[in-house]
Amino acid sequence: MPRIVAILSNKGGVGKTSTTINLGTALTYFTRDTLIVDANISSPSIGINLGSPSVPIALNHVLRGSHSLDEAIYHHKTGLKVVPSSLKFEDFDALSMENLRKHLSSSKSDIVLLDSAPGINHESLSALKAADEVLVITNPNLSSVASSLKTIKLAQRHGKEITGVIVTRAGHHTDMSIKEIESMLHEQVIGIIPEDSLMHNSLKLSQPLVEVSPNSPASIAYKQLAAALTGMNYVHR
Ligand SMILES: Nc1ncnc2c1ncn2[C@@H]1O[C@H](COP(=O)(O)OP(=O)(O)OP(=O)(O)O)[C@@H](O)[C@H]1O
Ligand SMILES: [Mg+2]
């Protein structure tokens, strides 16, 4: 049974997909067999961000029971395994995510990262229920941090372990401090991913940032986080 981690945020656009892709890639560097799954079925973007917007077999087909999880896995050149979601409305229409955990349980990977839809809804709740643990993604501003409180309460209500909070796009002078964020959320910040101008470039190239710009500030932070999550040491040279 893999370690299943939901990447959640209540607010949209804070960096869940960027974290799923880059943390996932960084985990493969620490020899973890890592699978990332696009559980944002209403607005999938993992396939788009990795240059394969359209695939013949997607998570949707697994959830409908027509294909196995194995058949929906694509192998990225970094070693990362990827299950994208379909962009087609007819693949999304009336799709239930109830059995997501059951399908993911068949994965032979060490770790599964679930990219989720923002907000509190059927999709994010399904990702939460499918997971063993949760990483809460927030930007360092009051509206994002305050809305993360709901995600944390929801995860607690469902008895899920909150592995920690990851602060993304950090480094603006208007940012809340890490101490302020921790004291508002009563959870530990285990990763600080700086604002990185090269993130845009990696999207243009349809590749993970940690692959195309391994020494950029956010790449180093994602590798440090991957090391921390797996009990490894990472020293940037
Ligand atoms: N560390 C960073 N530095 C600079 N830009 C970033 C960083 N992290 C994310 N971004 C940018 O922020 C935008 C939103 O990121 P992303 O798509 O990962 O958010 P999301 O939480 O998945 O959004 P949604 O809720 O819509 O699914 C993207 O344009 C992405 O390139
Ligand atoms: Mg996203």
In tens, the pLDDT along 139-194 reads 999 999 999 999 999 999 999 999 999 999 999 988 999 999 999 999 999 999 99
Question: What is the predicted pLDDT for the residue at 31?
Answer: 80
**Stated pTM of the model:** 0.98
pLDDT at 20: 98
- Bridge partners (DSSP) listed for residue 166: 137, 191
Instruction: Compute the distance between CA of residue 213 and CA of residue 25 in angstroms, rounded to an integer.
Output: 12
Residue 121 has pLDDT above 90, yes or no: yes
Ligand 1 close to Cβ of residue 199 (< 6 A): yes
Alpha-carbon distance of 17 to 14, in angstroms, equals: 9
Ligand 1 pocket test, pick from 14, 18, 87 with the greatest ligand atom count within 8 Å of Cβ, gives 18
Q: How far is CA 99 from CA 54, 58, 129, 205, in A?
A: 23, 15, 10, 34
pLDDT digits (tens, 9 = 90+) for 52-62: 999 999 999 99
Query: What's the gap in Å between 16 CA and the centre of ligand 2?
Result: 5
DSSP lists the bridge partners of residue 194 as: 170
Tell me, in angstroms, the distance from the centre of ligand 2 to residue 7's CA. 10
pLDDT of residue 21: 98
**Beta carbon of 9 within 6 Å of any ligand 1 atom:** yes
- Please give the mean pLDDT across all residues of the chain: 97
H helix intervals, the chain: 16-29, 46-49, 59-64, 89-92, 100-105, 122-130, 142-157, 178-185, 198-205, 209-212, 217-229
Residue 17: pLDDT over 90: yes
Centre of ligand 2 to C-alpha 202, Å, is 15
Of 181, 180, 217, 173, give the one whose Cα is nearest residue 199: 217
